[in-house]
Structure 1
Amino acid sequence: MKNIKLYGLFLGLALATSCATSTNSNFTYEGKGFKDAYNSITLEELKTNLYVIAGDEMEGRETGSAGQKKAGEFMIDQYKKYGISFPSALGSFYQKVPSEAMKKYGETLPDSENILAFIEGSEKPNEIIVISAHYDHVGMKKGEIYNGADDDGSGTVAVMEIAQAFQEAKKKGYGPKRSILFLHVTGEEHGLFGSEYYSDHPVFPLVNTVANLNIDMIGRDDPENRGKKYVYVIGSEMLSSDLKKISETANEKTVKLELNYKYDDPKDPQRLYYRSDHYNFAKHNIPVAFYFDGIHEDYHKPTDTPDKIDYDILTQRTKLVFATAWELANRADRIVVDGKNDR
């Protein structure tokens, strides 16, 4: 997640919440298609992939670095193995993010890439659900590798595992009705650059983007919630009264985590709603939910390593995002947008 020192650079006041509306869902969590896909999300695969993504050979995945590119190549190889391709309009898994687009705050960064994988919907292919995570981290400092296992290796492997689950369902004839874009963005740590670039140069029209589920740090716990089975969910009712209901129902029917809404408070001094990649969708009035485990003692330190991850809670949180995405992708109508983003 973007460093706490940068949060004040993002403008915006608290977003208005709105009255409840009907969810009009025809979806059940008892169907075989859902169950098989849900159960395909495993601790073992998440752990195996995270030890690669956050391994020393990736050298902390600094934006535009050889280590980040190596991590991206691994991710693409996994998508190919799953049988998942890229958006045809893009022509490859890569969306180049040029250095010129990443020059805020007095930094000069090299060219980098967002990585996009895509599963086309069977009934409403032009409506898009975006599931995102950033795959960059802060690189190396004074010879020490900042592995970024939680930030955001955990989100990166979760998105990959969710994609595999949707693809397994599709192979069995239970493909999503709406299309799903699996978006791995670059440059988050320096200023949300990759997601900003995507929202300014979308592969699919933003008007057709139904929602963004963003995952940034879901493999640890913070001191306030030590040992609890929880996740912070941020922004889920800011722009759509449907989305929070869908998230809560998905949770109740599956993993039953404690959903913590502390950071929905507009007065919260950490302003986390503005500090990860979902915000570049929310500023375009696209409903978002941001899944987060909190600021822990290894945040932005070289001690954020794969051995510190709680793989059981990582698996449960990944399953929650999958269940929420499944409902968003398969419900009769797209969710309402009945809030307003006050930038």
Structure 2
Amino acid sequence: MTLLNRLNISVPIIQAPMAGVSTPALAAAVSNAGGLGSIGVGATDAAGARAMIAATRALTNRAFNVNLFVHATPTARPAREAAWLDAMQPLFARYNGEPPAALRTIYQSFADDDAMLDMLLDSAPPVVSFHFGLPDTDRIKALKDAGITLLATATNLDEARAIEAAGIDAIVAQGFEAGGHRGMFNPDAPDDKLSTDALTRLLVANCHRPVIAAGGIMDGAGIRAALDLGAIAAQLGTAFIACPESSADAPYRAALASDAAHHTTMTAAISGRPARCLANRFTAWGAGTRANPPDYPIAYDAGKALNAAAKAAGEHGFGAQWAGQGAPLHRPMPAADLLTLLHRESQ
């Protein structure tokens, strides 16, 4: 039995768990329409994740995915963090805001979060996926013993082989076109910046686990191409941002519909890790600064504070407006309608 059949997924489309955008309503709408909906819980704690899982279960009786961040434990570097805040000081001053006195680790990696593991074992969502790396073998075994299907993101062949060796059920091949955070295990390592097509074919040819293509896929033609390359499904994130069920705010939606969608850029300035988003004031500042951001997600503490100050002053160009290179192809409509359209186009 194939992975999709085991999960009763009739449409080979996965809605990407973009943190800050995906919601229980969005995930449930996609799952109810035959795909695999996703919620991102990496930026919350066990209680918040439990509430999101319960809310999703209240809206669907079909399989859905719960995504976790498995980044390296951040190292506090007071001098580097102070230099980063100093570099951002003129931005805070421009919008009458005060930078944090010190930066915090605003959420834990799943690798360090025992409460999150206990909650997942208790709630046993159908699918759990990992981004930024892999948890240890004991955590993987515990989740698999609970009957949970596991996915993990790879940006190159070495990461994919590590995922396969760990016994993960399927590999998400994240091309450089993808919106949101790069799933690189080591953000300081050289990035080959493989495209979705090249990476998907590379992993299909060299790995024994099923491959899910992700990055820049916005319509049925893109889905069909991914399937023709040997992927079992396509994962789409940016395509769902404009759906009414997403939590994207009005400025985010307006930016997605603007010329900024034609100029997505990769930046580490917002969070401390490379991520693709719509070009805005924050990405422009990040491209010009010579300061090095603190570790992820410590740097995100400063980014969120700056965005809050700017929004209070009526400026919306400092948000984390994640989007992939296919952003201009987005089509605003309810998620179920979009999934039906995508499936029809891919035939």
User: What TM-score, normalized to structure 1?
Assistant: 0.31
The higher radius of gyration belongs to 2
User: What TM-score, normalized to structure 2?
Assistant: 0.31
Structure showing greater relative contact order (alpha-carbon pairs closer than 8 Å, 6 or more residues apart): 1
